[in-house]
A and B are shown apart, each in its own frame.
Chain A
Amino acid sequence: MLKLERRPAPSRGWTAVTPVLAVVATMIAGGLLFAALGKDPVEAIRTIFWDPLFGKFASYSRPQLLVKAGPLILIAIGLSLGFKAQVWNIGAEGQYIMGALFGAATGLAFYPTDSVLLFPAMVLMGALGGFLWAMIPAVLKLRFGTSEILVSLMLVYVAQHIMSAASFGMLKNPEGMGFPGSRNFQHYPAAFNSELIAGTGMHWGGVAALGAVVAAYVLLSRHILGFHIRVAGEAPRAARFAGVSPALLTSVCLGTSGALAGLAGLFEVSGPAGQITTDFASGYGFTAIIVAFLGRLHPVGILLAGLLMALTYIGGELAQLTLNLPSAAVQAFQGMLLFFLLAFDVLANFRIRLARRKVEGRARA
């Protein structure tokens, strides 16, 4: 019988190899799926994984990877801090929405100004919106011991309804011919989050995402707070003896992840999305949870995982376009990729032994 034995620390070698193994396994399983649908599996896999990076139009799709991955990475970095400390914020989607709403409302309140202070103010308000929304579960947890998993999830739906109400009411574009949705920030230069260098796909959201990766890396490897986060997650009792305040840690983790999710929402609404509409939220907050785990809660891992998710979105679109692959097949394929990535993670954290007796024998020896 197979038996898992926990490694004292995740194996570095396996941590690096398992994502590759998982992608290969997905290619095989996905290839079978595509073949069953009557498509050329090699062609389909190449279109999804290769063409966006090195295909004929890669000069366009490579920057787009960053545009799509930016919000995912930014949110996932924030979430990973909490997840490491066993603080489970799964309502990033709601914080993303509230950040977008706060930021957009700020921008629209001053329409049509050309003040250079407007965009920074929107960024601050975006972060604040996400932060406040995340502090609701934080405060309830500290005050009443309420589960932050469930409160943050419930608040996603509340946020979605507020957004729907805002796009029909408060923030509705007065010149929009009666259609729901706010003014488009693309036509509002002082508030528009445009590409910093044309053709690179790099806007302030991408900068913030890369900045967050670096900051999280430094925090976790060099700073005392990062140490506290790690200890709190791995050995909560020891953490208390070491003087880590669980209340402070919960607030910091939820607040930071909320603020980053809010920032992601603000950068998205003022840039690529352009406006608040009923369909503004497209699940980034939930996808980011998966990205955080795929990245093994490590900043660099999250960067790569975010880019990989973005690759499957953009490659999946290409496969629809060039091979007539139904979008449902692409979705199922993404699900399979996640299953394999999660499954192979076991190799990094555990040794697999064959028989129970043998294990015990060795352990004693």
Chain B
Amino acid sequence: MQRRTLLKSGAAALVAVSLASPALAQDPLKVGFIYVGPIGDLGWSYQHDQGRLAVEKEFGDKVETVYLESVPEGADAERALTQMAMQGADLIFTTSFGYMDPTINVAAKFPDVKFEHATGYKRADNVATYNARFYEGRAVMGTIAGRMTKSNKIGYIGSFPIPEVIQGINSTYIHAKKVNPDVEISVVWAYTWFDPAKEADAAKALIEQGVDVILAHTDSTAPLAEAAKTPGVIGFGQASDMLDFAPSPRVSSIIDNWAPYYIERVQAALDGTWTATDTWGGIGEGEVGIGEITDAVPAEVKAEAEALAASIADKSYHPFTGPLNKQDGSVWLAEGEVADDGTLAGLNFYVEGIKGDIPQ
């Protein structure tokens, strides 16, 4: 209930801001956002919208934000982007991989408008790209998972077999294995980013297989709710903090925090220093947040996880550091070698020790 009142007052504040800004502002920077889902999904689009609200809060009258939610990828995206640019948006964030080609096309027609595309790889003079190193957070989760599992089985609910998700699975497994050599990981592909009922079923299937730690790369809270039904099973918040399920089953979380990046980029646009960069931020940049580790985790495990997060944040440790072999036993990274971003961006194989195949 508290969460709800919070949301309500947040909404009231938002209305107040949007009422107040047009009257006062001289010529505010208009910042647009295109979301693939509804902002009420409590996952991917919700977190991007939290970033938008943070921008409004930070800059007040100096910016005006607009957004379009539930925009299908493809033809509709191109039209939506064009309409947004014509309505005078100066800086537009397109927040889903499928918006890549539409973003490039529309950007070519509006050279004076700045575009930022999330999770893609195509850039132009006025198109920047950005993504988050979620696998850094997965390393921390993997450490906790390896220490906490009693059955030595951890489960991972994957959305689609794409590089970002495969990075997460590998990172989880590598770090769970590091602290617990007996650990095994089961992967279930849900083929959806968002279908609460199916996610709940996937979690249940894993639990019935004896899994007692669940990680999800899908967006709803359903896996945590399912975990809550079985004592001794733990999980992690995904995308948002999901504190409603703390202290257990939610023992920590991996948070998509776009606010620092959005604020930085809006600032750059205001200052006239904006350029088409490629940003891949992680824990250190604040893009990947580690939600508070609860008391359900023993103090020494908590300390170990926090130390790992700190070493990733200050770049003294990279989650993909050799020696690491590929699943087939061939060498991927030699001793001390660190994976390059190009390989990670197209990652399509498991590391040694993970059973099963990536669906093709």
Contact = CB atoms under 8 A, between A and B. Distances in A.
Interface of A: 38, 57, 60-61, 64, 67-68, 164, 168-169, 177-181, 184, 186, 268, 271-275, 277-280, 282, 314, 317-318, 320-322, 324, 326-328
Given A168-B161, A184-B101, A327-B38, 19 more contacts: A57-B87, A60-B83, A60-B86, A168-B360, A169-B360, A178-B348, A179-B97, A271-B75, A272-B74, A275-B101, A277-B98, A279-B74, A317-B79, A317-B83, A320-B67, A321-B87, A327-B68, A327-B69, A327-B70
B162 interface: yes
Nearest to A313: B76
B80 interface: yes
A180 B160 contact: yes
B111 interface: no
Given A180-B162, A314-B79, A322 B68 contact: no
B76 A168 contact: no
- State the main secondary structure of chain A at its contact with B: loop
Contacts of B50: none
A280 B74 contact: yes
A218 B161 CA distance: 50
A279 B68 contact: no
A168 B359 contact: yes
B346 A318 contact: no
A274 B163 CA distance: 22
B83 A177 contact: no
Given A164-B191, A282-B76, A177 B345 contact: yes
A179 B162 contact: yes
A38 B15 contact: yes
A173 to B, nearest CB: 11
Interface of B: 15, 18, 32, 38, 66-70, 72-76, 78-80, 82-84, 86-87, 97-98, 101, 105, 121, 160-163, 166, 191, 345-348, 359-360
Contacts, number: 89
Contacts of B66: 321-322, 324
Nearest to B65: A324
9 closest A-B pairs (Cβ-Cβ)? A272-B75, A273-B74, A57-B86, A178-B163, A177-B346, A273-B75, A327-B70, A282-B72, A178-B348
A178 B347 contact: yes
A278 B73 CA distance: 10
A61 B83 contact: yes
A224 B38 CA distance: 50
A57 B68 contact: no
Given A178-B346, A184-B101, A277 B73 contact: yes
A347 to B, nearest CB: 34
Nearest to A331: B70
A319 to B, nearest CB: 10
A321 B81 CA distance: 11
Contacts of A282: 72, 74, 76
Contacts of B97: 179
Given A38-B15, A61-B83, A179-B97, A317 B73 contact: no
Contacts of A273: 74-75
B73 A328 contact: no
A318 B83 contact: yes
A71 B82 CA distance: 20
Tell me which of B38, B70, B79, B348 has the highest count of chain A C-beta atoms within 10 A of its own C-beta: B79
Nearest to B160: A180
9 contacts: A178-B346, A178-B347, A181-B98, A272-B75, A277-B74, A279-B74, A282-B76, A318-B83, A320-B67
A264 B101 CA distance: 21
Nearest to B87: A321
Nearest to B68: A320
A280 B360 CA distance: 19
B24 to A, nearest CB: 17
A327 B359 CA distance: 35
B359 A268 contact: no
Nearest to A71: B75
A30 B161 CA distance: 42
Nearest to A279: B73
A186 B38 CA distance: 28
A322 B87 contact: yes
A160 B92 CA distance: 32
A191 to B, nearest CB: 15
Given A168-B359, A179-B97, A60 B38 contact: no
B116 to A, nearest CB: 18
A64 B79 CA distance: 8
B72 A279 contact: yes
Given A180-B162, A277-B73, A324 B18 contact: yes
Contact of A186 (B79, B105, B359, B360): B105
A293 B124 CA distance: 45
B79 A274 contact: no
Contacts of A277: 73-74, 98
Contacts of A275: 74, 101
Contacts of B79: 64, 67-68, 314, 317
A134 B83 CA distance: 37
